[in-house]
């Protein structure tokens, strides 16, 4: 209690020291799946889907704050809170869908790292996938041996590398302001644009990040008693989420803007490799190098964060822990199979993000219900406007998925 009391009115440097959990969660918002979806959207449709990124990022701010608040107020992660309210069959079913989503996440991240290593060092994709998996395992070992704060600093450093890698392209070739502004008007152009919008949404509001953030905040700040200490931590958490999502949103916007400005109408830009080549031709080898480095940092960081989320989901829902190496090998296998059999890696990235989009309601609906429960949250229960906003977000995402299924089946 003494430590918590000293945090009631933190000084500026103390506030900075308390930031971090949201930056780990934010890595999920700038993973290789984002690169594939955003670059594909910009190259195929120009600025048409810019509004999707803006809307998805606003949704992410709300969702990630609610997740962090749940962990801080209840002392439980979202998987633990959900699992405590389910019987065994329901928990197992929920766990299966959550793990499938986590595996789709891992596929995108490992494939993205493999593509980056191919671009940088001309390594075979399968070799690059193995290296990405090994480095992500090493990052997880850093967390286990050095603690969460050290892990947060490493991941935040990689987030800065990602930001520099992709924002450089934007500054090298600024987009036309008028055309970009027109992309803020919500609209679609056929089934493919809806598919890409679902991929962009799945790559931004990522289910595993929703599950993870509650545990990250709980592990970092503990479970403070109601009162000034908790209110102070909730304020800091809002800043943590706001800053982290601002960085992630800027990176995502830069991906689409660069593609729309430089790649629209250019042949062979429907893959990350083609987009990299086009960026090199249009903006020079230096910018293309930073693009590839940003992609590599994205794959390495997001793969470790995704594996961390998978372990938290398993622990919370079925109350079992699997040795780190065993779990990493199992979740790595689908990505290595995709790379080994020669599936188009960029298309696999986009489709993996669509799978993630289908998993979002399973994370959002319990989160909204739990944080709107006065008996669970007490004085920190959601405001009615917050709950309504949450249900609107969940409804819009679910509707987009239904439309996507219809268009896919009838197309």
Mean pLDDT of 267-285: 84
Mean pLDDT of 215-234: 89
Which pLDDT belongs to residue 6? 40
Please give the share of the chain, as a percent, with pLDDT higher than 90.
Answer: 44
91 has pLDDT over 80: yes
Which pLDDT belongs to residue 5? 38
For the chain, percent helix, then strand, then coil, each to nearest 5? 85, 0, 15
Which pLDDT belongs to residue 267? 77
Give pTM, 2 decimals: 0.88
Read off the pLDDT band of 14 (50, 70, 90): low
Which pLDDT belongs to residue 195? 79
Mean pLDDT of 395-402: 80
- Burial of 245-274, coded b for 16+ CB within 10 Å and e otherwise, reads bebbbebbbbbbbbbbbbbeebeebbbbeb
Please report which helix (H) or strand (E) contains residue 389, including its range.
Answer: helix 384-410
Q: What tokens appear for 336 in the block? A: 């290595």
* Domains assigned to the chain: 17-410 (1.20.1740.10)
Mean pLDDT of 103-131: 90
Are 399 and 407 contacting, i.e. CB atoms less than 8 angstroms apart? Answer: no
Read off the pLDDT band of 222 (50, 70, 90): confident
* 352-376 tens-digit pLDDT: 767 777 788 899 999 999 999 999 9
Read off the pLDDT band of 7 (50, 70, 90): very low
Q: What are phi and psi of 268, to 5 degrees?
A: 65, 35
Q: What tokens appear for 149 in the block? A: 């704060």
Read off the pLDDT band of 29 (50, 70, 90): confident
Which pLDDT belongs to residue 2? 39
* 288-320 tens-digit pLDDT: 999 999 999 999 998 888 888 888 888 888 887
Q: What is the mean pLDDT of the chain?
A: 86
């Amino acid at each position: 209690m003494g430590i918590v009391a000293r945090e009631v009115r933190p000084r500026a440097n103390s506030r900075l020291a308390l930031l971090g959990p949201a930056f780990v969660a934010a890595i999920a918002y700038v993973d290789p799946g984002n690169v594939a979806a955003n670059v594909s959207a910009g190259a195929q449709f120009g600025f048409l889907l810019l509004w999707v990124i803006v809307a998805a990022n606003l949704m992410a701010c709300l969702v990630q704050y609610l997740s962090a608040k749940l962990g801080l107020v209840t002392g439980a992660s979202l998987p633990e809170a959900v699992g405590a309210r389910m019987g065994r069959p329901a928990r197992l079913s929920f766990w299966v869908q959550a793990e499938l989503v986590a595996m789709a996440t891992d596929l995108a991240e490992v494939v993205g790292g493999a593509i980056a290593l191919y671009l940088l060092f001309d390594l075979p994709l399968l070799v690059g996938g193995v290296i990405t998996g090994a480095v992500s395992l090493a990052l997880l070992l850093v967390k286990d041996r050095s603690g969460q704060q050290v892990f947060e600093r490493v991941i935040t450093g990689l987030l800065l590398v990602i930001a520099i890698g992709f924002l450089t392209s934007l500054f090298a070739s600024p987009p036309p302001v008028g055309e970009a502004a027109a992309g803020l008007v919500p609209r679609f152009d056929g089934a493919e644009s809806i598919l890409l919008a679902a991929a962009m949404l799945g790559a931004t509001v990522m289910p595993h990040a929703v599950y993870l953030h509650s545990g990250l905040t709980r592990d970092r700040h503990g479970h403070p008693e109601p009162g000034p200490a908790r209110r102070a931590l909730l304020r800091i958490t809002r800043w943590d989420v706001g800053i982290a999502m601002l960085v992630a949103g800027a990176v995502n916007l830069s991906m689409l803007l660069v593609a729309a400005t430089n790649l629209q109408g250019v042949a062979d830009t429907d893959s990350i490799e083609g987009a990299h080549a086009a960026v090199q031709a249009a903006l020079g080898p230096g910018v293309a190098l930073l693009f590839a480095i940003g992609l590599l940092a994205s794959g390495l960081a997001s793969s470790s964060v995704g594996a961390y989320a998978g372990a938290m989901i398993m622990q919370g829902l079925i109350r079992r822990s699997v040795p780190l190496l065993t779990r990493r090998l199992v979740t790595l296998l689908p990505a290595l199979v995709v790379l080994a059999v020669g599936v188009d890696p960029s298309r696999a990235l986009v489709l993996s993000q669509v799978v993630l989009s289908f998993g979002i309601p399973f994370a959002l609906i319990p989160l909204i219900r739990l944080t709107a429960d006065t008996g669970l949250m007490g004085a920190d229960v959601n405001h009615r406007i917050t709950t309504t906003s949450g249900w609107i977000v969940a409804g819009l995402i679910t509707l987009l998925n239904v439309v996507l299924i219809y268009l896919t089946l009838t197309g």
